[in-house]
Structure 1
Amino acid sequence: MPHAGTMSILRKRLHDFDDVLNGEEIDITSLKRLCFHGVPDEGGLRPLCWKLLLNYLPSTRASWSETLSRKRELYKTFIDDLIVMPGEADVDGERVDVTLQDHPLNLNPDSKWQTFFKDNEVLLQIDKDVRRLCPDISFFQQGTDYPCKAIVNVSGSKRLHRRVQHTVLRSANVERKGLGITKQIAVSVRKAVEDYAPLAEGGEAHWEVLERILFLYAKLNPGQGYVQGMNEIVGPIYHAFACDPDHQWREHAEADTFFCFTNLMAEIRDFFIKSLDEAEFGINSMMSKLTRQVKVNDHEVWLRLHQQELCPQYYSFRWLTLLLSQEFPLPDVMRIWDSLFADENRFSFLIHICCAMILLLRDQLLAGDFATNVKLLQNFPSMDIQIVLSKAAALAGKTLNSS
């Protein structure tokens, strides 16, 4: 049983969160300060905190209802307008066969068939990725209590997983060519034994919901599209929202996740666009910052990695791009993201966490050869996440309270 002192601290922290979250005007600065130390798992507060931290909900409570209603209705229109089904159209509310006007061999760029085929190329990668998300837990294989009626109540033709054609894949990948063994970067450290299966008609598994979110995001962001690894970003957000103890929030987990994911991607999109690698917040810049921080805080470790030519691309590319979502179990990832989303200097704390991870492996790295150290950094050992975060906070000149 938890120690009485621990319970007392927890009650105080829950009380502090309630004070902030129940105000008519949310003090975002105070909320960030609380969330930086971790949102308690008790009380079901994380979904609401993340919606505020990711700028989905405004700080004025009175405007929440209008904002949520407008956004959720907008998401419904995305589903209706962007999941294109060729061969039929709506005329006065009824579906009419329009095969004579449009057909699979129609080369007109406005042809629904042309859009359909292009969409399927993107779907191939999305479908593959979401079917293998977090295989160490069963959540994403389970059915949602709130399947999308606009999808499951029709003939089934709009269910995306049915449309996947095993054609040539053209979507981007988090792998960067020319980095040698970094081909391992995009490979999940948690492999599924087999792909998840779709549910029967009338039901939807959580991974099917994520497939739709990512597909719509790719359609609405054609300049970026879908990049492998985005599934690892959207997964924890959706998991938090779909497990909200309040069923009125949980019912709209899909739409809320879409907009929070979109807002988060607007902040980290530079990580996923190769042409922006050298930008201030591009991935190469982030890796350089990490290298410099290691050098400043432990010159001996930095020198060891430098002499072995163990470049940060070999391990930290994935750490930074995917916000550590593949390095730790999901509960730890969510705890890390509490601090990242609450970071006043957006994602500077991510560099501190990555540096802490390296420094905590100091003895092994100094003793290991190149191959051993690459394997160690690409497969970060199991460790109490509070130790990692406390070390990171110390590097940032902060004190981290225990959850």
Structure 2
Amino acid sequence: MGSASNEQEMPAGEGSRRRFENLRGVQWRIDLGILPCHSSSSVDDLRRVTANSRRRYAGLRRRLLVDPHISKDGSSSPDPVIDNPLSQNPDSTWGRFFRNAELEKTLDQDLSRLYPEHGSYFQTPGCQGMLRRILLLWCLRHPEYGYRQGMHELLAPFLYVLHIDVECLSEVRKQYEDHFTDKFDGLAFQENDLTYNFDFKKIIDSMEDEIGSHGNTVKVKSLNELDPEIQMTVLLTDAYGAEGELGVVMSEKFMEHDAYCMFDALMSGSHGSVAIVDFYSHSPSCGSHSGLPPVIEASAALYHMLSVVDSSLHDHLVELGVEPQYFALRWLRVLFGREFSLENLLLIWDSIFAADNNITLDKVTEDDADSGFCIFRSPQGALIPAMAVSMILHLRSSLLATEHATTCLQRLLNFPENIDLRKLINKAKSLQTLALDTNMSSVSPPFDGIYNHSRSMACERSYSYTLI
């Protein structure tokens, strides 16, 4: 296989989304700003960016993961008088090793309960090890935040979709094996580095029509005869392209590297998106007019949106004393991960990540920038509370029929499983459009009312159990 054709240009915008709609892990990396989406970007551009991101992660692992039993440079160990298991020096190798071990114990407690309905995958030693290392490294890289309960639920879907991509690639390999075969001096060497045995048959079966699976290998004479989607899959996995094996965009060997980059992008809010890690902070965000922690302000924002679209329901909840943060802490911090099945959650995240954050709100003036709800200042930010309001509206009848705050909260924190998800997402998108068109970010919010800072923080402590 050669890489000459890898220099073809990639389509941008919706064209890019259509091309990668069956490769969610690739598409999310584009949406999160990890991979380029410009029309001038070639396959080799994707490969170079992929390789560079993986190098950065490998560098983090070498620098931050310590094992005092092993010398990194092969030389003798440090002075045992200074650096030993009984040393009181917190910066010693042993001191860092023991702190990391304590953090790993905390991580293991949460990871052991992760997606029990998908336990055959998430509880495998290989998956648990990757999740543990990624979270440990991220926390060491961001000590100002550390680990907070729920972060593991934000990471897991990234690893899941990357694995699905690899399984999809495996199916494509079977159908078009000639294009995945190395031919050198007349000898063929079949590549196959897939080491996991997890069965994604249900997922793959839904893709078979796209792949053209009929149980037999498809014979074609040239790459150009393949469907464009299959062509792209072949090009993205060409080990002889730019950066060699390190640049293979879909590779099981580098799933851990790629998942870290996706998780870090989500948490840090790269590419103009919302920084989800702010929802774990107790301090007001920079530029916030409310003086409230971001998750409390975002909770107030979704209630403000509710008051605009359904004042009766909003007033009913307020009269009962159902403050938004009572349920929104969990909804926002894990990005609705506890309210939906994993399969449905992926569809919701598709819409959230696809929000074009390159669009700015022209209506926001300098005076407005210091007031209002920060979360309404970007399309992705507006879609998150819009999704929450769509969920509340779905429960409208049952909530209005309830006269007790506890019962309301029970219904909000036990969202029904049998729903029309597409309808729910479409409603959220219409609310997002309303928020952006009416410029809700410049509206002075009622922070002095029920959104009391001290009570909100007390509520956060009281309702932390909802993440367990």
TM-score (norm 2): 0.61
- Distance of 1:142 and 1:110 partners within structure 2: 33
1:314 aligns to 2:326 (yes or no): yes
Deviations 1:111-155 (A, max 9, x none): 111111222332222111112111111343454xxxxxxxxxxxx
Distance 1:23 1:306, change over 3 A: farther
Distance 1:340 1:322, change over 3 A: same
Q: Measure how far apart 1:71 and its partner are.
A: 2.1
- Distance of 2:50 and 2:285 partners within structure 1: 35
Residue equivalent to 2:169: 246
Distance 1:285 1:31, change over 3 A: farther
The letter for the 1-side match of 2:55 is E
The letter for the 2-side match of 1:48 is V
* 1:193-272 alignment runs, 5 A limit: 204-244=125-165, 245-246=168-169, 249-251=250-252, 252-267=254-269, 268-272=276-280
1:124 aligns to 2:120 (yes or no): no
2:117 alignment partner, SS class: coil
Runs of 4+ with >6 A deviation? none
Residue equivalent to 1:275: 283
Deviations 1:261-291 (A, max 9, x none): 1111001221111113696481122111100
2:299 alignment partner, SS class: helix
Unaligned stretches of 5+ in structure 1? 1-20, 144-203, 399-403
Distance 1:65 1:397, change over 3 A: closer
Residue equivalent to 2:85: 104
Distance 1:25 1:298, change over 3 A: same
- Distance of 1:116 and 1:72 partners within structure 2: 24
Q: CA RMSD in A?
A: 2.6
Distance 1:45 1:330, change over 3 A: same
The counterpart of 1:388, out of the listed 410, 424, 449, is: 424
Residue equivalent to 2:224: none
1:379 aligns to 2:414 (yes or no): yes
User: Which structure has the larger Rg over C-alpha atoms?
Assistant: 2
Distance 1:303 1:22, change over 3 A: farther
* 1:59-208 alignment runs, 5 A limit: 59=37, 60-61=41-42, 62-91=44-73, 93=74, 99=80, 101-141=82-122, 143=124, 204-208=125-129
Unaligned stretches of 5+ in structure 2? 1-5, 171-236, 238-249, 270-275, 357-378, 435-468
Percent sequence identity over aligned pairs: 29
1:89 alignment partner, SS class: coil
Q: Measure how far apart 1:253 and its partner are.
A: 1.2
The counterpart of 1:301, out of the listed 310, 313, 320, is: 313
Q: Is the 8 A contact 2:115 2:122 kept in 1?
A: no
Q: Is the 8 A contact 2:389 2:428 kept in 1?
A: yes
Residue equivalent to 1:370: 405
Q: Measure how far apart 1:23 and its partner are.
A: 6.3
Q: Is the 8 A contact 2:295 2:332 kept in 1?
A: yes
Deviations 1:21-62 (A, max 9, x none): 996144136546x69xxx85xxx3211110100111123233
Q: Is the 8 A contact 1:305 1:311 kept in 2?
A: yes
Deviations 1:367-388 (A, max 9, x none): 1122211100011111221121
